[in-house]
Structure formats: C-alpha cells, structure tokens
C-alpha cells in the first residue's frame, strides 16, 4: 500500500508539476505568516516544570506581593577627558540625576517600585538633594557603618538603583518594560565621567532574546551556505545543486509555522532548529536526486525515472524518518519543558522534510528537465 501511495505521488508530481509547486507555495505562505507568531521565551521559570512546588510558589508570591524580578541599574565612574568629569560618585550632580531617574522610572508601566540607597541621603537632608559633596559626606558619616556600605562601594565609584517589575514570564511585557527603562536611562542627564548600565535578570533575559534571534539567523545562514557549497561540488550543476535544498528550506518555514500554530516558543533549545533541520533533511533530497540521475543514465524516460526514484527512495526515507521522529519524540517525555519543545520541533521538522522532498522535489526535477533545460538550450542556440 505504501508503494502504491508513493507511485500516485510520483505520477501527480510528474504530470502536474506546476500545480504541485503551487500547492506547496500556498502552504508555505500560510506557514510563513504563522511563523511570525512564534514567541521568544527567556523566562527561567518557564524552562522548568510548571507543577513543581518551587515554581508554583514563585507565581503565588508574584500574585500577592508584586514583581520578584529586579532591574539593577548600576551608576559608576568611567574614564573621561572632560574637565568637568565626576571623580566621586557622591557628587551632588550624580545624586540629582539618580533622583530624576528614579522619578521617571516610577511612571513606567510594569515597574512596581523603585528604590536607591541614595534615598537615605535625601531623607536625611530634609527631602532634597544636597548641593555640595561635603554635606553628602557629613550625612554619610552620621549613618551606621552597615548602612554606609549599602549606599556606595568602598572607593565611592559605584552605586545602584533597583527597579522591581511584575512582568514575570510575560516576554512581550518584559521587552517593553526594558525598552522603556533603557529609554529613561538615556534621557537622564548624567554628568560626564559617569556610566549607567542596567543589569540583573530582566536585562539578561532581553539580551538572551536578542542573542537567540541572532544565533538563529546566523547559524541557519552559515548552514545553508555550507550545504550549498557541498551540493555544488557534488552535483557540479547549479540547478541540480539548488533543487535538493529548496524543499528543506521550505520545511524550515513549515516548522516555524507549526511552532506559531502550536504555540511552541523559541527558547535556548529551539533557537538553532533551522540549521539542525537543514543538516538532517538535506540527505533526503540528495538520495532522491542521486537515484533519479542513476535511472536516467540507464536510459529510463523521465516519468519512469521519477517513479522509481520516489518509490524506491521514498520507502527508505519514510522508514528513516519514522525512526528519527521516534527518537526525537522521546524528548517530549523529558521533565524540562525546553527539551520537550526541542523534541516536538525536531520531529515536526524532519517529518516536513520528508513530505516536501517526496512531493516537491520530483516536480522541480520535471520542471527542470521539460521546461528550464530546453529553454536554456534554445537561448544558447539563438546566441550562436
């Protein structure tokens, strides 16, 4: 029965190659649209079992007491050629800028509270920022030693502002909060010789989001170029080199569409899925193309060569796909959600590779043999 199904697929692709191409392209367009809905997930707690008491308690604490994630804004001295640069972080100009930054941060939607050790100095000075550094030093000297150590570091080159957010695992909200916080930092007029950097868990999650997307595009591009070079060396013809790669690229798009449709996030485990699918799926196209070329060298007509290549290669490809999918689906049973996501995505990706190779690649071969190559020959004949 399997061989009969593959025969029908081969006949359809051979007799109606453009219709097959159109069907695949329509599905790819919808998959591409769905892929835009894939969400990034960098929240550490989302990568752990959601029914674990530790994680459930974390969510309860957030519900009852607000944000548990802290954005630590570090204000520190940096080298500067300015004659007016700050040489002591206790400089009143720095304290005034910190006070302005705190006030602005309180208006950011998603920031539940803002605090700074500098607030103590302002409180001790009747609610206003001291105008001279001597006053600041005098206030500090009157404070207990343990409080002084929490305001500035030992050489008075650094202090911090803590901003609490209730974004939690809401990736979209966290990105917006971090954009707003960074905007407030840039707008605050700190004096020369001072550097302001946001760190802590939320900024690191934003950085991870950026690096995951960058890694995804970079690794996929590098993998694509490397595979194309090998195909060109092997087939020695531009069109024959590109054709096995096109179905795998389409399978990558379908995988992204499935992730968007099934709400599978882009996380640390699935960020490199593009290059992974390219590497695993290209074998199918190479095997089918090689078998087709082999049949053509024996003198077989196009339709018979296509049928033999699809049926004989297809049975082996389907068996290989089944074993590979089973291996990947074993990851779904892993207690870590991100490993389960990797298993789902890899199983989907390799399945799509099989489907697209067995349906689209024969159609592309027919289009090349019956339409593109004759056209190229005619064009060459006209130029001679």
The three-state DSSP-derived secondary structure of 300-311 is: CCHHHHHHHHHH
Mean pLDDT of all residues in 35-43? 85
Asked if the model's pLDDT at residue 39 lies above 70, the reply is: yes
The answer for residues whose C-beta is within 8 angstroms of residue 77's C-beta and 6 or more apart is: 86, 87, 89, 157, 158, 193, 194, 195
**What's residue 335's pLDDT?**
84
Digit-coded pLDDT (tens) for 127-174: 888 888 888 888 888 888 877 778 888 888 999 999 988 877 677 888
Asked if the model's pLDDT at residue 383 lies above 70, the reply is: no
**CB 117, CB 198: distance < 8 Å:** no
**CB 125, CB 137: distance < 8 Å:** no
- Which of helix, strand or coil describes residue 306? helix
**CB 20, CB 360: distance < 8 Å:** yes
Asked if the model's pLDDT at residue 303 lies above 70, the reply is: yes
Mean pLDDT of all residues in 372-379? 75
Mean pLDDT of all residues in 16-24? 93
What distances in angstroms separate CA 292 from CA 118, 220, 308, 320, one per listed residue?
75, 28, 8, 19
Digit-coded pLDDT (tens) for 227-282: 889 888 887 877 778 888 999 999 999 999 999 999 898 888 888 888 889 988 89
Mean pLDDT of all residues in 278-297? 89
Percent of the chain at pLDDT exceeding 70? 97
CA–CA dist 278, 280 (Å, integer): 6
Region of poorest pLDDT, from 52-61, 129-138, 199-208: 52-61
Region of poorest pLDDT, from 8-17, 312-321, 364-373: 364-373
φ/ψ (deg, to 5) at 249? -60, -40
**CB 22, CB 367: distance < 8 Å:** no
Percent of the chain at pLDDT exceeding 90? 30
CA–CA dist 158, 199 (Å, integer): 14
Bigger pLDDT: 313 or 54?
A: 313
Mean pLDDT score of the chain: 87
Mean pLDDT of all residues in 63-90? 84
Asked if the model's pLDDT at residue 373 lies above 80, the reply is: no
What distances in angstroms separate CA 354 from CA 177, 313, 339, 340, one per listed residue?
42, 11, 23, 22
Strands (E), the chain: 69-77, 111-115, 158-165, 194-200
Placement of tokens 């296509």 in the chain: 306
User: What structural domains does the chain harbor?
Assistant: 1-47+213-380 (1.20.1640.10), 79-192 (no CATH)
CA–CA dist 103, 361 (Å, integer): 61
| Numbers of helices and strands, H then E, in the chain | 15, 4
**CB 154, CB 181: distance < 8 Å:** no
CA–CA dist 183, 167 (Å, integer): 17
**CB 86, CB 193: distance < 8 Å:** yes
Would you place residue 343 in the very low, low, confident or very high pLDDT band (cuts 50, 70, 90)?
A: very high
Mean pLDDT of all residues in 287-299? 88
**CB 249, CB 347: distance < 8 Å:** no
**What's residue 325's pLDDT?**
92
**What's residue 64's pLDDT?**
65
* DSSP secondary structure letter of residue 199: E
Digit-coded pLDDT (tens) for 88-138: 898 999 999 999 999 999 888 888 888 887 888 888 888 888 888 888 888
**What's residue 344's pLDDT?**
92
Tokens representing residue 224 in the block: 């694509």
């Amino acid at each position: 029965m399997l061989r009969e199904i593959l025969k029908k697929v081969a006949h359809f692709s051979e007799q109606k190659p453009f219709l097959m191409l159109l069907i695949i392209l329509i599905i790819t367009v919808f998959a591409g649209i769905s892929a835009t809905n894939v969400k990034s997930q960098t929240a550490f707690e989302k990568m752990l079992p959601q029914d674990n008491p530790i994680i459930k308690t974390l969510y309860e604490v957030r519900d009852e007491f607000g944000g548990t994630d802290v954005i630590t804004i570090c204000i520190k001295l940096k080298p500067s050629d300015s004659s007016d640069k700050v040489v002591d972080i206790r400089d009143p100009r720095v304290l005034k800028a910190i006070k302005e930054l705190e006030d602005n941060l309180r208006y950011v939607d998603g920031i539940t509270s803002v605090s700074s050790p500098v607030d103590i100095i302002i409180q001790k000075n009747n609610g206003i920022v001291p105008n001279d550094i001597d006053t600041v030093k005098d206030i500090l000297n009157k404070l207990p030693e343990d409080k002084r150590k929490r305001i500035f570091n030992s050489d008075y080159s650094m202090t911090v502002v803590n901003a609490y957010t209730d974004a939690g695992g809401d990736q979209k909200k966290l990105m917006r909060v971090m954009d707003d916080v960074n905007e407030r930092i840039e707008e605050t007029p700190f004096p020369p010789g001072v550097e302001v950097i946001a760190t802590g868990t939320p900024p690191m999650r934003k950085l991870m989001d950026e690096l995951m997307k960058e890694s995804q595009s970079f690794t996929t591009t590098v993998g694509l170029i490397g595979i194309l070079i090998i195909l060109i060396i092997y087939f020695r013809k531009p069109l024959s080199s590109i054709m096995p790669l096109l179905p795998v690229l389409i399978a990558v798009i379908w995988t992204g569409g499935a992730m968007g449709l099934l709400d599978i996030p882009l996380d640390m485990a699935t960020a490199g899925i593009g290059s992974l699918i390219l590497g695993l799926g290209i074998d199918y196209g190479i095997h089918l193309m090689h078998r087709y070329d082999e049949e053509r060298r024996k003198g077989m007509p196009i339709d018979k060569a296509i049928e033999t290549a699809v049926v004989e290669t297809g049975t082996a490809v389907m068996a290989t796909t089944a074993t590979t999918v089973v291996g990947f689906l074993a990851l779904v049973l892993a207690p870590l959600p991100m490993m389960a996501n990797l298993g789902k995505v890899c199983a989907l990706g390799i399945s799509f590779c099989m489907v697209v190779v067995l349906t689209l690649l024969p159609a592309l071969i027919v289009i090349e043999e019956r339409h593109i190559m004759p056209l190229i020959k005619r064009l060459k004949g006209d130029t001679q």
